[in-house]
Structure 1
Amino acid sequence: MLNVILVPIYTGVMLPGAYGQVVVIYAYFAIFNIFLAYGMETAFFRFYKDSENKKKVVSTSLLSILGSTMIFMIIGLLFKSSLSQFLEISIEYIGYVFWILALDALVIIPFAWLRANERPMRFAIIKLISVVLNLGLNFFFLILLPKLAIDNEGFLASIYKADYEILYILISNLASSAVTLLLMLRVYLRRPYVFDIDIWKRMIKYAMPVMIAGIAFTVNEVLDKILLEKILPVEIASEEVGKYGACVKLAVFMTLFITAFRMGIEPFFFSHSDTKNPQKAYAQITNYFVVLGSIILLAVVVFSDVLKVLFVRNEAYWEAMSVVPIILLAAFFLGIYHNLSVWYKVTDRTKFGAYISMIGAVLTIVVNLIFIPYFGYMASAVATLLAYGTMMLLSFYFGRMYYPIPYNFRKIIFYLVISILFSILSFYIFDRNLFVGISLLILFLGLVYKLEFENLKKLYVNR
């Protein structure tokens, strides 16, 4: 949600070309984050659940991440100039990028520890503090400081520099990441440290396919922005990336739902894998996920013109609004994939996750490389949809072979087809007519109520 809140600030003070540079920098953030985590978060959940000595798992995981992050920082700072040229990120920004990546890496295991121990309140409070600080600093540097510096010849005037928006964004992120680590330091400080080489080797063996899958996921998620920057003509590349990057952010309502759902459900998958008939619970969870996801898909599509005015206030960006339904559906397919992926996680077949994600990544790269010169960012949106849709279908296919789950296919397909059909009618056929869209949304909610009310009533009574 922070991404959405910041969009009106960024698009209000930066033209698409400048904002495009921010989009590309944060695309690289996403890629490096995967390498710095190298699958240890998922491995932590897997081994923490089964280990008789949970303290060893925690300390080994912390020391592993701490050591790898230090190595990354040493290499990054030694070869800063070369990396700046290779990544095409200005030398004045690259140091901030390294520090933010390092600080974020160091809180991976502490946050995983909170999730594994079912402490959502502390998790939420720390995350919210980080978000509020980041948002507050962005607002100060980008909105307040330029106004205050005009009427002030003292300290405020001395720290303000025109056309430094990107640097101010990175400073805000760095401060937020630093405070987050400080709030999580007790996880590092309040434990005896033991590095168990045997546990570490088994965790790494489990984590490597997860890392490969994560790299492939990130390629699907962010590589399109980097390829747009590199393939499109120089004079329009950053501007097109900026438009695309801003409008894609409207899909964050789906992404937020998926992320929150995944954070809660991943520990649940492991903790219930040894219970009696866990497949039934997994199937029911997926059914409710599709119901909620279908509602979010249609609602965001229906109100997309309202949302663009609220969050992407500069009309210079609106040209790329045509990608919103495609990216929303792609994110929805990714969420379904996360639910279907339970089979390879609880059976320790994480290599399948890597294979499936790599196929999605290849699709993303090939479609972008071939079609960006002809269709620009629309090719990137379709590539993302094809990648996630293919991954979803492949996970379902292999899951039936290795870990059958009794999904209610009739309902799942019904909700998917109706929500997609109504979205197409609202956005493309009736040209985002709000009256038509709201009517379709009400009709869809009525169908959901009729089909799910009794099930939800039983679930509530049983609890």
Structure 2
Amino acid sequence: MLLVDRCWLFAATLIITNINEQSFTINYQRKTNSHLSKLKQLAGETILYGLGSMLPRVLNFLLVPLHTINMFSKAEYGVITKLFAFVAVVNIVYMFGMETAFFRFATKAKADVKRIFNLTQTTVIIISGTLSALFIVFAQSIATALGIPEHPEFIIWLTALMLIDALVAIPFARLRLEKKAFLFAAIKIANVILLIALNFYFLKIAYDPSVGVGYVILANLIANALFVLLFIKVLIAWRPAWDKQITPQLFSYAYPVMLTGVAGMINEMFSRTMLDWWLPKDFYPGQSQEDAMGIFGACYKFAVFMNLGIQAFRYAAEPFFFSNASDKNSPALFAKINHFFIIVCCIVLVGISINLDILKYFIGSDFQTGLEIVPVLLLAYLFLGVYYNLSVWFKLTDKTHYGTIISFIGVVITVAGNYFLIPIAGFMGSSLAAFLCYFGMTVFCFVWGQRYYPIPYNIRAAIVYITISFALVYIVNAVPIKHAVLAPVFHISVLALFTYLIYKKEKAYLMQSV
């Protein structure tokens, strides 16, 4: 996956490279320098957060061949996909939107950051602790509902995993607020190195068939326990806190963010589960619904690399947007950021999609039949990233309930799209439903956002770049090159030329003052 990692990092450093090349000119453009410095800072932090989120996932991707080649069956991998989809959704409730609330309230004028930390951490611990107790009590019932009645211990392990994630969510957020991106990255990378080591140990040395896929859960649980050790001083320094005035405001601000997150995670994760519900029997000859879900989950891993870059950007951008909200030129700055964000995502879309002939070897041959969905899912994630950028308006205006409305519109589109398209197109139907969902959310967010917090986005340029990128993928993939050396050389050359042309076209705009 080195190609994917380099694709993201090369694209993300495009801004920094351009800025450094023009350092002499910037010395004579003091106004321009201010905004370029902010762009450079944001790009630099994005790269560091990328190392903290993308590089671990790239390393984590090494587990896919371990899990899918001569280890777990397609049905067993489908169970893993289902369980971690469950975790992803519940984790949002555990954290209750308090990360975003922490940024919002900690960046207000004269805010006491330490007190805001204690207040948000207290809320997260109360909510996650209560839910964890309920999950443990009803572990058997939940296991039965998820199709693993013989393994209620899996639910207990997953509950412990989610509780740990919740405990360290606000400490991680504070690192982001304090711009300690390097420390953030180091902790994340250490976690994944341990995770990989544990997977190899459990699956290759200490494997017991009676535990099976449970080893994947145990490895994640033990690896995430490292977070508690690394944040032990912060967690010990925390003091339970409640403020009659601020705490209700935190809840009021955060619960729509939480609902938005739940809806968004349902859109992202449950499309995989819907294959199990609505895929007709024998739609894929010789494949059960569980097999199909396993194949879809494995191929989905490639598309997740777009989301990783988006997540890295969000880690840097969320505190950045809040910190720069008072700048009178911030709308123009936010528009410029979104413009280059879309360009980077387009480069990633092309880079991954035209190199699937190489990347496919990272999953078992039985799982490769679903690779056609990857370009569509990458496009879907691109629009999800644009939506996150556009969503800054309701976070800065404290109208977070609009995020909830938009996300639930997305849920409706997801469910309806999967219901109608899976029986017709199988994997591709579910992928198209994801695209329609995120595209629809982007449109609604843009229309409402322009009413309450106008930002001069370059919509025409965005449409042109996205259209050209997606068309280029299918044009290049339509050229059959079976030679093992010539094919990757051709594809990488196309990506390099595409990136260079964008560089030449956008260089002047990047240097302009906003």
TM-score (norm 1): 0.91
Cα 1:410–1:224 shift into 2, 3 Å:
closer
SS at 1:195 equivalent? coil
- How far did residue 274 of structure 1 move? 0.7
Which of 128, 141, 158 aligns to 1:69? It is: 128
Which of 259, 273, 288 aligns to 1:236? It is: 288
1:341 correspondence with 2:362? no
- How far did residue 119 of structure 1 move? 1.1
1:451 correspondence with 2:505? yes
Deviates more, 1:433-442 or 1:40-49: 433-442
1:162 partner amino acid: P
- How far did residue 432 of structure 1 move? 7.6
**CA–CA distance in 1 between the matches of 2:341 and 2:236?**
38
1:187 correspondence with 2:234? yes
Q: Which ranges of structure 2 fall in alignment gaps of 5 or more residues?
A: 1-56
- How far did residue 215 of structure 1 move? 1.1
**CA–CA distance in 2 between the matches of 1:355 and 1:445?**
37
1:213 correspondence with 2:271? no
Which of 195, 216, 219 aligns to 1:172? It is: 219
Task: Quote the residue 2:158 is aligned against.
Answer: 97
1:32 correspondence with 2:83? no
What are the equivalent positions in structure 2 for 1:113-124 lying under 5 Å apart?
Answer: 113-124=174-185
**CA–CA distance in 2 between the matches of 1:200 and 1:432?**
61
SS at 1:197 equivalent? coil
Q: Per-residue CA shift, 1:127-156, capped at 9, x if unaligned?
A: 11111111111122223x0xxxxxxxxxxx
Task: Quote the residue 1:6 is aligned against.
Answer: 63
**CA–CA distance in 1 between the matches of 2:198 and 2:425?**
37
What are the equivalent positions in structure 2 for 1:348-387 lying under 5 Å apart?
Answer: 348-387=398-437
**CA–CA distance in 1 between the matches of 2:103 and 2:428?**
38
Q: Which ranges of 4 or more aligned residues in structure 1 deviate by more than 6 Å?
A: none
Which of 9, 17, 21 aligns to 2:79? It is: 21
**CA–CA distance in 1 between the matches of 2:91 and 2:458?**
36
**CA–CA distance in 1 between the matches of 2:316 and 2:266?**
24
**CA–CA distance in 1 between the matches of 2:381 and 2:410?**
13
1:298 correspondence with 2:356? no
**CA–CA distance in 1 between the matches of 2:62 and 2:210?**
21
- How far did residue 431 of structure 1 move? 5.6
> Would you say the 8 A contact 1:302–1:432 is kept in 2?
no
2:260 partner amino acid: A
Task: Quote the residue 2:479 is aligned against.
Answer: 430
Q: Per-residue CA shift, 1:377-402, capped at 9, x if unaligned?
A: 22111110100011111111112111
Which of 94, 108, 118 aligns to 2:169? It is: 108
Which of 355, 366, 371 aligns to 1:321? It is: 371
1:245 correspondence with 2:294? no
**CA–CA distance in 1 between the matches of 2:111 and 2:490?**
58
SS at 1:107 equivalent? helix
**CA–CA distance in 2 between the matches of 1:76 and 1:346?**
35
Task: Quote the residue 1:79 is aligned against.
Answer: 138
Task: Quote the residue 1:135 is aligned against.
Answer: 196
**CA–CA distance in 2 between the matches of 1:377 and 1:449?**
35
- How far did residue 416 of structure 1 move? 1.3
2:190 partner amino acid: I
> Would you say the 8 A contact 1:3–1:249 is kept in 2?
no
Task: Quote the residue 1:156 is aligned against.
Answer: none
- How far did residue 192 of structure 1 move? 4.5
**CA–CA distance in 1 between the matches of 2:192 and 2:107?**
30
- How far did residue 415 of structure 1 move? 1.4
Cα 1:129–1:197 shift into 2, 3 Å:
farther
**CA–CA distance in 1 between the matches of 2:298 and 2:394?**
35
Task: Quote the residue 1:197 is aligned against.
Answer: 244
**CA–CA distance in 2 between the matches of 1:279 and 1:10?**
46
Task: Quote the residue 1:49 is aligned against.
Answer: 107
**CA–CA distance in 2 between the matches of 1:102 and 1:122?**
22
Deviates more, 1:220-229 or 1:80-89: 80-89
1:258 correspondence with 2:310? yes
Task: Quote the residue 1:150 is aligned against.
Answer: none
- How far did residue 268 of structure 1 move? 0.4
- How far did residue 454 of structure 1 move? 2.8
1:32 partner amino acid: V
- How far did residue 163 of structure 1 move? 5.7
Q: Per-residue CA shift, 1:84-103, capped at 9, x if unaligned?
A: 22232332311111111111
**CA–CA distance in 1 between the matches of 2:294 and 2:409?**
28
Deviates more, 1:84-93 or 1:384-393: 84-93
2:76 partner amino acid: A
**CA–CA distance in 2 between the matches of 1:308 and 1:71?**
43
RMSD: 2.0
Question: Quick one: percent identity of the two aligned structures?
Answer: 36
1:223 partner amino acid: F
1:334 partner amino acid: L
Task: Quote the residue 1:226 is aligned against.
Answer: 273
> Would you say the 8 A contact 1:231–1:372 is kept in 2?
yes
Q: Per-residue CA shift, 1:146-182, capped at 9, x if unaligned?
A: xxxxxxxxxxxxx541363311111100101111122
Size of the alignment, in residue pairs? 443
**CA–CA distance in 2 between the matches of 1:431 and 1:328?**
22
Deviates more, 1:201-210 or 1:416-425: 416-425
> Would you say the 8 A contact 2:263–2:410 is kept in 1?
yes
**CA–CA distance in 2 between the matches of 1:445 and 1:56?**
46
> Would you say the 8 A contact 2:136–2:155 is kept in 1?
no
**CA–CA distance in 2 between the matches of 1:397 and 1:425?**
33
> Would you say the 8 A contact 1:62–1:188 is kept in 2?
no
> Would you say the 8 A contact 2:257–2:400 is kept in 1?
yes
SS at 1:240 equivalent? helix
- How far did residue 457 of structure 1 move? 5.5
Q: Per-residue CA shift, 1:251-297, capped at 9, x if unaligned?
A: 12211211101110010010000122111110111111011111110
TM-score (norm 2): 0.82
> Would you say the 8 A contact 1:330–1:388 is kept in 2?
yes
Cα 1:288–1:40 shift into 2, 3 Å:
same
**CA–CA distance in 1 between the matches of 2:238 and 2:450?**
42
Task: Quote the residue 2:20 is aligned against.
Answer: none
Q: Which ranges of structure 1 fall in alignment gaps of 5 or more residues?
A: 146-158
Greater helix content: 1
> Would you say the 8 A contact 1:426–1:436 is kept in 2?
no
Task: Quote the residue 1:148 is aligned against.
Answer: none
**CA–CA distance in 2 between the matches of 1:458 and 1:163?**
62
Which of 495, 499, 503 aligns to 1:441? It is: 495
2:122 partner amino acid: L
